[in-house]
Each structure stands twice: as structure tokens, then as C-alpha cells.
Structure 1
Amino acid sequence: MQLNALLNKSITEAAAVVRGVKPDQLSAPTPCTDWDVRALTNHLLQVASALHLAGRRQTVPDELWGRDFMDEGWADRFDDEGRAAAAAWAQPSAWEGMVSMGGAEMPAPMIATMFASDLAIHGWDLARATGQDYHCDDDVAEATCRFITDMAEQGRQMGIYATPVAVPDAAPALDRALALSGRDPQWAHPTA
């Protein structure tokens, strides 16, 4: 499957989960132990904004990651940024060359794959934390697993990923990706 299709599916899947978050769930815990539902939802909004900027070949500034997007219309904001990101990445030129992010230059396909994987992993996190189903496309799950397999050690050194969790070799691709990132694929909300 082409990267553009993977990216669009990741955006769509995450948008469905963001739309399902209820205001009374914002303080609930998530599989991301450092973030509650509010912080995780805000991070997904940051990712959608970064993805939009990167697709338009604008620098993704470090300040973006400290920005609070959690106003009253957060789900609409995610939908808007997601649509804008999908439109930007629909242009063939978006996939060429380098994108500036965090003071570094990275190949555009790598940025898109990184953000698609981030949307998949954190979409699952948010769905689990809020009692929603998460429908990850098989191709998105496979691409996410490949990306995390390639980046796991670097991610752990940067504090992005935790110690891997053991899962069977035959586990589904999303479960393997979650486990490589340090998440237990069987995680359930503590009050469930």
C-alpha cells in the first residue's frame, strides 16, 4: 500500500477515536503512563498539526510540542488538521526531499511514516483509555510495526519508548508494535 494511503487511514482511525472522547474522561489514565486522556488527546492534535505543516513543507517548530490545543472544539480541530494534512500529503511533491523538524532535516517519507505510526499507537492508547474500539487497518499496523522495529532502540534512548513487553511471535502486527514500544497490548482501564 502506498504511504499516502497509510497516512490517510491513520488520520481517519485516530480522528474517530478523538471524536469519541468525552469531556468527563479527560483525567482518566492511559497506557502512556506519563499522560492522562487530556494530554494524550492534545498530543494527537499536535501530531495532526505537525503532519499538516510537514506536508506543506513548513518547518515543524519545537514550540508546537508545548502548545495546548485542548479548547472546546478539539475533535473538530483534529478533523480540520487531519483533512488539511491529508490534502497536503496528496501532492506528489510532498513526498520528495527533506522536512525540517526540531532543528533536523528528515526525508519526507520518514516523517510521514513516523507520524502515521504515532497516530496508530496513540490512537490505540486513547481508544483503550476511553473504552472505545480501535480499528487499525492491517497495512497501517504492519507499517507501524516495521517503523517501531527499526526505531525502537533509538526511541528507548530518547525516552520515547519503554522496555519492550513480551508477546508471542505470532501476535498481530499492532500488538507487536505496541509491545516493542513498551505497551502491554492487553492494557485495560483500571476501572474496567
Structure 2
Amino acid sequence: MPPTKQELLAQSIDLVVGVVDSAPVYQYQDPTPCSEFTVKDLVNHIAMMLLMTRDVGSRTELDPSLLTANPVPLLAGRPESDWALLLAGKAGPAAKAWTEPAAWEGSASLGGPPMAAIALGEVLIAEFTIHAWDTAVATGQRIDVPTSLAMAAFDTYTREAPRMQGLGLLGDEVPQDADAPLFDRALALTGRDPRWSRPTR
């Protein structure tokens, strides 16, 4: 049986949290494939996503400061050496909030225009998966993205990339061969170059 959307979301969260846990703090100032983010910025962004995923799944009112705070309140005032552990502590609640069928019903929002909750959940799966890759390649880690997550990310961005580009959330697609690996094609849809590598020191 293919994994359910609830299982895919939990897998994507576990993937990104595991990569963040293995990212050395001394690399937090290094660049990432997201040109506007350092590794530190990306870890902060992932923390924000986990908190918002928890709240949206449970239909709790979002804290608007999460969209602008850097670092988010969860990490503020804490040494960067604690960030991975603090972030990991929010992984379970984020995934659990979407285990109820009601989380996937109706409409929901991450601070932007409301959209179908099932589509938003699919975007979260894709975004956590992509950010796991971002963090891994920025810190020199090997990452094996499960085929189920690669397929979920590709399907979601095939549908959502034009809308997200219009909102300024993604860059222009990077051309890829039709026979390129599925996850490379998913990355390309987000405006990322699958061949990106961190600068040599």
C-alpha cells in the first residue's frame, strides 16, 4: 500500500529534522540553495514551518509574528547549539496535528490566501522534503529522499509552482531533461538547480 498523506507528512518532517540535527552549528553562516537564506536562516524557517504546521492542522489561530520573527520565539535567546533539539521537539506535534481527517478537510491558510486544506498539506509535504535537501547540500550531508516523497513533491509542484511563483514564493523553473531523476525535476520546478553545491572553503 502506498503511504497515506498523513504518513508522507510525518516522513517529510522526520527527514528535515534529521538533516537539521546533523547540520554543524559552525556551518550556520554558510549559503544554501535558497539564495536569500544562510543555513541559520533556513533552520529558523523550518522551525517556523513546524509551528505553523501544528497550528494549521489543529485549526489554532496562527501567531502572525512567526512570519516575520528572526529568530522565531521558539529559538530566540537560545544558543544555536540548542536549535536542532528545540526544533525536533516540535516535529511530533506538527505531524500529530494532521493525523485527524478533519485537518485535511475544508480550507486553511499559512498566512496567505486560504486554499483547500488537502492541497496545503501536500505543499507542506513538498516543502519539508525540499528544505531537507537544501539543508543537506548546504552542509555537505548525503540525503536519500524516498521515492514516495520525491513523487509527492513533483506532483505538488507540477500543480502549485505557477501559483507560488506568482506569489513570489518560488523562482523560475530550471530546465531539466525529461529523463532527469524525479526529485531533480521537483527541485527544478521550485527554481533550484539540482546540481547546486556549497562553495569550497
TM range (shorter): over 0.9
SS of structure 1 residue aligned to 2:60: coil
Distance 1:92 1:153 in 2: 28
Distance 1:154 1:15 in 2: 27
Distance 2:159 2:105 in 1: 21
1:127 aligned residue (125, 130, 136): 136
Read off the aligned partner of 1:41 and give its amino acid letter.
Answer: V
Residues 55-87 of structure 1: CA deviation (Å, up to 9, x unaligned): 111133442122213433211222111100111
Residues 145-186 of structure 1: CA deviation (Å, up to 9, x unaligned): 111111222222222211211221112221101111111101
Would you say 1:5 and 2:14 are equivalent positions? no
SS of structure 2 residue aligned to 1:101: coil
Unaligned runs of 5+ in 2: none
Would you say 1:19 and 2:21 are equivalent positions? yes
Distance 1:152 1:170 in 2: 20
Read off the aligned partner of 1:141 and give its amino acid letter.
Answer: A
Q: Which segment drifts farther, 76-85 or 91-100?
A: 91-100
TM-score normalised per structure 1: 0.93
RMSD: 1.6
Read off the aligned partner of 1:42 and give its amino acid letter.
Answer: N
TM-score normalised per structure 2: 0.89
Would you say 1:74 and 2:76 are equivalent positions? no
Residues 108-161 of structure 1: CA deviation (Å, up to 9, x unaligned): 212211111111111111100001112211111111111111122222222221
Whichever structure has more helix as a proportion of its residues is 1
Would you say 1:89 and 2:98 are equivalent positions? yes
